[in-house]
Amino acid sequence: MTALTRAREAIAELIDAMRQTGQARMAAETRTRQPAPRATTLYACGRDWQVLDAETGRVLAWRPSMHEAAELATRLELGLQLQQQ
């Protein structure tokens, strides 16, 4: 094998490794952009409703009606993207 042949093979291996790294990076970014499903609870606070994280008790959102709060809680429990309001 000549040095030129070995260099071409090494370059081809590097290009393949870079392609695989790029694919792995894109897959990882896709996974990290999706929110994790979380258990929630609803809490009435005056006229507003709080959506709480069931594990930590942290307030995730406020909604003016029980229907909106329940809809948001369902979306969070399914791990769906949140809609900005």
Which helix (H) or strand (E) covers residue 3, if one does? helix 3-33
pLDDT at 78: 87
Contact 47, 64 (CB under 8 A): yes
Nearest to 41 by CA among 30, 33, 52: 52
Buried b (16+ CB within 10 A) or exposed e, 31-43: eeeeeeeeebeee
pLDDT at 15: 95
Backbone angles phi, psi at 54, to 5 degrees: -65, -30
pLDDT tens digit sequence for 27-49: 888 877 767 788 999 999 999 99
